[in-house]
Amino acid sequence: MTMRRLINLKRVEARRIYLTYFIVILAYVICQTMSSTKILSSTMRGMLVPICAYMVMSISLNLVVGISGELSLGHAGFMSVGAFSGVAAAILMQGFIPFAPVRLALAMIIAAIFAAAAGFLIGIPVLRLKGDYLAIVTLAFGEIIKSILNNFYLGVDSGGLQFSMLSDTTRLLAGGKLIIRGPMGISGIQKIATFPAGFILVMISLMIVFNLVNSRSGRAFMAIRDDRIAAESIGLDITKYKMTAFVMSAAMAGAAGALFAMNYSTIVANKFDFNTSILILVFVVLGGQGNMLGGIIAAAALTILPEKLRQFSDYRMLLYAIILIITMLGTNNQEIRNFFAGLNPFRRKEHEEEAA
Amino acid sequence: MIFLNYFISGISLGSIYAIIALGYTMVYGIAKMLNFAHGDVIMVGAYVCFYAVARYELNPFIGLVLAMIVCTFLGIIIERFAYKPLRQAPSLAVLITAIGVSYLLQNTALLLWSSNPKVFPSIIGRGAFKLFDGELSISHITALTIIACLVIMAVLTLFINKTRLGKAMRACSEDKGAAQLMGINVNATISLTFAIGSGLAAIAGALLCSAYPTLMPTTGALPGIKAFTAAVFGGIGSIPGAFLGGLMLGVIEIFAKAYISSQLSDAVVFAMLIVVLLVKPAGLLGRQTQEKV
């Protein structure tokens, strides 16, 4: 099914999709070999799972920002819904599913379901708005999710799950265990997230997005993005398609959140704040909106960059900011672009041919 | 009486939000961009004022004027080097650049002034007016904040509506191309808008840190987001809207802190924003633009 659909695609598009898969697999093989032969430093090895999680976040937000054309400033909220529900599920399953990879997979699925539900609930009001107003409401929801999770207590005892808000009034029976502890988050998480699991999640997300984009729905997303009124006039149900993109994106973000959380022993809601949402948006815009490969590369590069800049110690975040600004100016200002195009002898030839 | 006390502190906090929100809304109105670095200009203003007063022992008002001058130039420089080259670029690219500028300011502040929180001296002392046998107490800084906000609003409204430069600003926000054809220097007008917004940010910074005296490189970030919310609340691009949105947001925040829960106050504020936008999708005083085909 997938194959036939790909063959029918325009050649260039198909080539780009295969190239993306190829590069991701190649990067995985290289990293895995380097990691098993200890060429990779231990800090870099520790970053492999977060990089995978950020890659999935980048793919997921790209579906909303790049393909569906809506600016979302609260994507970290879905990540945190996924992280908390996934980790809580994993802790609850510890007793009867001893095999860690299965537990991880189930936890990510549960995280995706919870995040998708959150995405659906938030999508109902959000998708009625447009442009910057939509963006600010997603920001608001991100902050609300953070506030709620910061004040949420969840415990388990022989009577089942108990939860409370604001302060711990779960009144657990003897032998019960408090899982989510408000601002303290969840601690004592078993680190079951692995690099291969992260790689599989990246591949699954890519497959979902590529299949979606090159389907009837995907074409509808782009039609709505390019001209909402024209799309509406030919009978596309705008709310339905926008909701599909939003919920799919939230689900992927949830799975990524679970993966991310299970790489650490402690997770708190404040980790997924406005800055995290912005960081993910930076991946998408830097990589090129709608370009999955670009977003993935940007996610990896910007996660590694602060680490590599560590030798500049105090100046590293300053350099990070400068690199970000210069990249945005360099890729978006026509004069600067022409200047660089003029420096490249091959490019200049193309330009001359085009002119002729 | 307690209610009145809360209400007045809400109005005071709201006045600060309103002054910050003016910067957001003016820049949005004219350049159609969300200037995320605005919150950090506040922080820079507060630091300049802090050093002028605490280190060089200048009069607080000279410190404030100094902070305004520094922030005004900072605003012009940011506009010239980061935003002007992107005039034709997609709005998301400008947004990310603004975020880059915000990181740049925060981290420069971190290097220059370290991350240790500084205790900001109030620019007007810590006294208070006592009314009704001391049952109602209004601190001097609260009173000053409210007065400052009213004065700024009045002056700004007069400036926008009565002067030639104000007229040029309105023209640019309406239609840049047509304004240029009428002989208005669009680039200078945009620079002027950034200058005014950043100058106001310096005042907001000094007032904010006088009321809540902890100064850190990240001090401006959260008030920045809240003020941005206030601007949207009132209808972004509208100056009376920023004023109304700021005041309402401040009052709601203080009441939520007092009567609902101090931990959930941010959630309540943002929930209110969502409700308002669902009822009035362009904010309280925003202009509803009809889409033409």
pLDDT greater than 50 at residue A356: no
Which of these CATH numbers, 3.40.50, 1.20.120, 1.20.1070, 1.10.3470, describes B2-279?
A: 1.10.3470
Tell me what pLDDT residue A104 has.
Answer: 87
> How confident is the model over B39-95, as pLDDT tens digits?
999 999 999 988 888 888 788 888 889 999 999 999 999 999 888 888 888 777 888
In this predicted structure, what is the pLDDT of residue A309?
73
Cβ of B274 within 8 Å of Cβ of A125? The answer is: yes
- Percent of chain A scoring above 90 in pLDDT: 16
The nearest alpha carbon in chain A to B276 belongs to A137
Is A24 an 8 Å CB contact of chain B?
A: no
Distance CA B172, CA B162 (A): 16
Chain B residues with CB under 8 Å of A309 CB are none
Q: Copy the structure tokens of residue A199.
A: 């790689």
Q: What is the DSSP string of B30-84?
A: HH----TTHHHHHHHHHHHHHIIIIIS---HHHHHHHHHHHHHHHHHHHIIIIIG
What is the structure's pLDDT at B192? 92
A324 to B273: CB separation less than 8 angstroms, yes or no = no
What does the alpha-carbon distance between residue A81 and residue A182 come to, in Å, rounded to a whole number?
A: 14
Instruction: Give the mean pLDDT of B123-148.
Output: 78
pLDDT interval class at A150 (50, 70, 90): confident
Which residue from B minimizes the CA distance to A141?
A: B270
Alpha helices for A262-344 (secondary structure H): 274-287, 292-308, 316-332, 334-343
Q: Which residues of B touch A130 (CB under 8 A)?
A: 281
pLDDT number for residue A113: 95
Is the CB of B259 inside 8 Å of chain A's CB atoms? no
Q: Which of A13-27, A174-188, A331-345, B57-71 has the lowest mean pLDDT?
A: A331-345
The angle, 0 to 180 degrees and rounded to 10, between the axes of the packed helices B221-234 and A131-150 is 130
CB contact under 8 A, B277 and A133: yes
pLDDT for the residue numbered B40: 92
Nearest residue of B to residue A122, measured between CA atoms: B274
Instruction: Please tell me the predicted confidence (pLDDT) of residue A29.
Output: 86
Q: Is A136 in contact with B232 (Cβ distance < 8 A)?
A: yes
- Least confident range from A242-251, A334-343, B197-206, B269-278: namely A334-343
When scoring A139, A274, A328 by the number of chain B Cβ atoms within 10 A, the one with the most, hence best to mutate, is A328
The token pair at A336 is: 């600067």
Average pLDDT on A177-188 reads: 78
Q: Does A352 touch chain B (CB under 8 A)?
A: no
Chain A contact present for B288, CB below 8 A? no
Measured distance CA(B137)–CA(A314) in Å, rounded: 45
Question: Residue B267: pLDDT above 90?
Answer: no
Q: Stretch B179-190: mean pLDDT, rounded?
A: 91
Q: Which pLDDT score is estimated for A306? A: 77
CB contact under 8 A, A329 and B82: yes
Candidates A121, A133, A139, A149: best to mutate against B (most CBs of B within 10 A) is: A133
What span, in angstroms and rounded, lies between the C-alpha atoms of B157 and B151?
10
| CA distance to partner chain A, nearest, from residue B270 (Å) | 5
Question: Within A63-194, where are the H helices?
Answer: 75-93, 100-126, 131-150
Q: Judge whether residue A319 has pLDDT over 70.
A: yes
pLDDT at A255 over 50: yes
* Secondary structure (3-state) at A159: coil
By the 10 Å C-beta count (0-12 exposed, 13-18 middle, 19+ buried), B166 is classed as: middle
Q: Which helix (H) or strand (E) is B155 found in, with range?
A: helix B140-162
pLDDT the model gives residue A232: 85
Q: Shortest CB distance from B267 goes to which of A148, A321, A333?
A: A148
Q: What are the tens digits of pLDDT across the range A68-94?
A: 888 888 899 999 999 999 988 888 888
The values of phi and psi at residue A235, to 5°, are 90, 20
- Distance between CA A143 and CA A76 in Å, rounded? 9
Strand order in the sheet with A177-181: A160-165, A152-157, A177-181
Question: What pLDDT, in 10s, does the model give residues A3-25?
Answer: 555 556 667 778 888 888 888 88
- Model confidence at B292, pLDDT cuts 50, 70, 90, reads low
Q: Are A285 and A299 in contact (CB under 8 A)?
A: no
A261-300 tens-digit pLDDT? 988 888 888 888 888 888 888 888 888 888 888 889 988 8
Give this prediction's pTM. 0.82
Contact call for residues B98 and B35 (beta carbons, < 8 A): yes
CA distance A218 to chain B (A): 22
Amino acid at A47: M
Check if A18 contacts B (Cβ < 8 Å). no
Determine contact: B182 vs chain A, CB below 8 A: no
Q: Which residues contact A258 (CB under 8 A, 6 or more apart)?
A: A82, A83, A85, A86, A87, A90, A104, A107, A108, A110, A111, A112
Q: What is the mean pLDDT of residues A96-107?
A: 84
Average of per-residue pLDDT across A213-228: 86
Which residues on chain A are in Cβ contact (under 8 Å) with B92?
A: 65, 71, 285, 289
Residues of A in contact with B31 (CB under 8 A): none
Q: A234 CB near a chain B CB, below 8 Å?
A: no
pLDDT at B154: 92
The reply to whether A289 touches chain B by the CB within 8 Å rule is yes
Does the distance separating the beta carbons of A317 and B97 come in below 8 Å? Answer: no
Q: What is the pLDDT of residues B12-21, one digit of tens each?
A: 999 999 999 9
**For chain A, which residues make up each domain, given as ranges?**
2-355
Tell whether the model's pLDDT for residue B23 goes beyond 50: yes
Give B263's pLDDT tier (boundaries 50, 70, 90).
Answer: confident
> Which residues of chain B does A334 touch, with a Cβ-Cβ cutoff of 8 Å?
88
Q: What percent of chain A has pLDDT over 70?
A: 88
